[in-house]
Homo-oligomer: A and B are copies of this chain.
Amino acid sequence: MSTVMKPINGAESLISTLVASGVDVAFTNPGTSEMHFVAALGRVEGMRAILCLFEGVVTGMADGYGRMKRAPAATLLHLGPGLAYGLANLHNARRAATPIVNIVGDHATYHAQYDAPLTSDVIGFARPVSSWVHMSMSAKTVAADGARAVQAARVAPGQIATLILPADTAWDEGSGAASALPVAAAATVSPRAVDEAAQLLRNGKRTAILLRGSVLEEASLETAGRIKAQSGARIMCDTIVPRLTRGAGVVEVERVPYFAEQIVDYFKDIEQLILVGAKPPVSFFAYPGKASWCLPEGCKVHYLAHVHEDGPGALDALADALRAPSEPVGRVDLRRPELPQGPLNAYTIGQVIGHFLPDNAIVVDEAATSARGTLKFTAAASRHDHMGLTGGSLGMGIPVASGAAVACPDRKVVCLQGDGGAMYTVQALWTQARENLDVTTVIFNNRAYGILRVELERVGAENPGPKSLSLLDLTNPELDWVSLGRGLGVESSRATTAEELADQFQSAMKGRGPRLIEAVM
């Protein structure tokens, strides 16, 4: 595994272990305390290292990579503050159940007592987003700790494991690579859970099946379509999901709406809800006088598969129990939208994207209020995977798209990115340029935190006045996205009409490598 002649150190032992455990990509933003790890990346074979200019990019890329690979990448972060900058996208990744192994450098074990400027409570920072946290205390154990971290990250459906690496555990003599630890498969659901679901689907009541996780990939959607064919149950997914396969040839899933009162209305006739990897629908935010719990009173909730259980297996068993037909209902026929003309808005942009979207693309969506048109006009476009803002923390779009492109270099990635959200992690464009990632970023430039204008009204804030409204406004000055994109090394252009967008987006879909298109709405 290693080509070094001198005794292998802790960092080399750890990297060898990660590679042996199947973790072969590291997204990095290192500092002094990580220099031995950086040096070891050059000595130990098998680990690709990708530099990011900000830790929110590091963790967002690991999220995008993990959602597509369903296997963890490593991050490399610089002590507590470096981890801290990455926490928001780790929050999103936690909500996506993405497997990630964070490696966080820290001061040498004996140096912590001096409370030097970068000393902080690294474990405290890590805990809210991590299912597993450990600080290595010796170069002799760090390889074994790394193997445990990977094992923890791979617990179904995917977890965040954070390993803290004091500098001396990297530079002292290590143990050599530790063996990969076994990873348990997702738990099989009980036959009773399947039987009860089958009984519910035969009792004639209005039933919905809410799916989340790997059941939103094509094979399980086929199964869900067969169950629907047999039972008439509606097949649904949350407003925002980690990853959903959709478009031509795929069984269609209804998407639960976003706002509390819409969700309540949407479910008002549902008498039974069967959950597969999902939780009962609740409002994204609370609003004065509106519901948080959105199911009608008396609606029965049945967990067919909990989040850590084998959802695809459960659906298969349910289809068998129901003697569902072999053909699903709801498979989508290809119906690309016509090209629009004139001004750009959420719908005309959506038509252009839907028209040109290539087969097997990956669509990453952080367009918030602007996404509705694209969701509509890609529903019957070419088959693609769609990934959403699972944790609600802005700054996920460009990094997740970039990480997905690392995971799937043969697939075109399209990032639907609101202008407000784009500003949190815009540095990811530089990594796209550096790694020549095949991502086209469409900036929906409405010069506002559009969602907040809606929300300000909805929370009952009456006549907010110019001072309040100015806090939701991104004019004065207007962001120049072409200038920003070029400053970060990405070919960038501006579209102000549907015709211009069609030209630019078609060109981007035909070409390879990073592109940014500012769509002025």
Kindly state whether residue A298 has any CB partner on chain B within 8 Å.
Answer: no
A108 to B391, CA, bound (A): 17
Question: What are the residues of chain B within 8 A of A285 when measuring CB–CB?
Answer: 32-33, 107, 111, 116, 118, 167
Kindly state whether residue A427 has any CB partner on chain B within 8 Å.
Answer: yes
Q: Closest B-chain residue to A48, C-beta based? A: B467
Interface string of A84-118 (1 = CB under 8 A from B): 11011001100100000000000110110011111
Kindly state whether residue A155 has any CB partner on chain B within 8 Å.
Answer: no
Question: Are A117's CB and B88's CB within 8 A?
Answer: no
Contact for A115 among B279, B286, B288, CB less than 8 A: B279
A115 to B293, CA, bound (A): 11
Contact for A484 among B470, B471, B476, B483, CB less than 8 A: B483
Shortest distance in angstroms between A183's beta carbon and chain B's nearest beta carbon?
Answer: 26
A391 to B31, CA, bound (A): 14
Question: Are B32's CB and A471's CB within 8 A?
Answer: no
Question: Are A117's CB and B390's CB within 8 A?
Answer: yes
Which A51-91 residues have a C-beta within 8 angstroms of B?
51, 53-54, 56, 80-82, 84-85, 87-88, 91
| A interface bracket (residues with beta carbon within 8 Å of B) | 35 or more
A81 to B35, CA, bound (A): 28
Kindly state whether residue A430 has any CB partner on chain B within 8 Å.
Answer: yes
Question: What are the residues of chain B within 8 A of A31 when measuring CB–CB?
Answer: 452, 455
Question: Are A84's CB and B88's CB within 8 A?
Answer: yes
Question: Are B392's CB and A117's CB within 8 A?
Answer: yes
Question: What are the residues of chain B within 8 A of A107 when measuring CB–CB?
Answer: 285-286
Question: What are the residues of chain B within 8 A of A451 when measuring CB–CB?
Answer: 32
Question: Are B85's CB and A88's CB within 8 A?
Answer: yes
Interface string of A416-439 (1 = CB under 8 A from B): 000010011011001001100000
Kindly state whether residue A231 has any CB partner on chain B within 8 Å.
Answer: no
Shortest distance in angstroms between A118's beta carbon and chain B's nearest beta carbon?
Answer: 4
Question: What are the residues of chain B within 8 A of A28 when measuring CB–CB?
Answer: 471
Contact for A43 among B82, B88, B465, CB less than 8 A: B465
Question: Are A423's CB and B53's CB within 8 A?
Answer: yes
Question: Are A477's CB and B488's CB within 8 A?
Answer: yes
Interface string of A189-217 (1 = CB under 8 A from B): 00000000000000000000000000000
A125 to B461, CA, bound (A): 29
Kindly state whether residue A292 has any CB partner on chain B within 8 Å.
Answer: yes
Kindly state whether residue A22 has any CB partner on chain B within 8 Å.
Answer: no
Question: What are the residues of chain B within 8 A of A121 when measuring CB–CB?
Answer: 127-128
Kindly state whether residue A120 has any CB partner on chain B within 8 Å.
Answer: yes
A356 to B240, CA, bound (A): 54
Question: Are B484's CB and A488's CB within 8 A?
Answer: yes
Kindly state whether residue A262 has any CB partner on chain B within 8 Å.
Answer: no
Kindly state whether residue A511 has any CB partner on chain B within 8 Å.
Answer: no
A96 to B520, CA, bound (A): 42
Kindly state whether residue A38 has any CB partner on chain B within 8 Å.
Answer: yes
A107 to B121, CA, bound (A): 26
Contact status of A39 and B82, CB under 8 A, knowing A459-B171, A489-B479 = no
Contact status of A286 and B476, CB under 8 A, knowing A36-B461, A455-B35, A488-B484 = no
A452 to B469, CA, bound (A): 43
Question: Are A424's CB and B85's CB within 8 A?
Answer: yes
Kindly state whether residue A486 has any CB partner on chain B within 8 Å.
Answer: yes
Question: Are B42's CB and A452's CB within 8 A?
Answer: no
A28 to B121, CA, bound (A): 26
Question: Are A167's CB and B35's CB within 8 A?
Answer: no
Shortest distance in angstroms between A108's beta carbon and chain B's nearest beta carbon?
Answer: 4
Kindly state whether residue A124 has any CB partner on chain B within 8 Å.
Answer: yes
Question: Are B292's CB and A110's CB within 8 A?
Answer: yes
Question: What are the residues of chain B within 8 A of A393 when measuring CB–CB?
Answer: 81-82, 84, 118
Question: What are the residues of chain B within 8 A of A465 when measuring CB–CB?
Answer: 39, 42-43
Contact for A81 among B91, B116, B240, B461, CB less than 8 A: B91
Which A267-298 residues have a C-beta within 8 angstroms of B?
279, 282-286, 288, 292-293
Contact status of A35 and B128, CB under 8 A, knowing A390-B117, A483-B486 = no
A455 to B84, CA, bound (A): 22
Pick from A84, A462, A472, A489 the residue with the most CB of B within 10 Å: A84
Question: Are A88's CB and B95's CB within 8 A?
Answer: no
A456 to B32, CA, bound (A): 7
Kindly state whether residue A30 has any CB partner on chain B within 8 Å.
Answer: yes
Contact for A117 among B95, B470, B477, CB less than 8 A: B95
Question: What are the residues of chain B within 8 A of A111 when measuring CB–CB?
Answer: 282-283, 285-286, 292
- 23 intermolecular pairs with C-beta atoms under 8 Å apart: A35-B456, A36-B461, A38-B461, A42-B465, A42-B468, A49-B467, A56-B85, A81-B393, A84-B84, A87-B87, A108-B286, A111-B286, A111-B292, A124-B127, A125-B125, A168-B288, A480-B487, A480-B489, A483-B483, A483-B484, A483-B486, A484-B484, A487-B487
> Given A117-B284, A118-B285, list of 6 further CB < 8 A pairs?
A31-B455, A81-B391, A82-B88, A87-B125, A107-B285, A118-B393
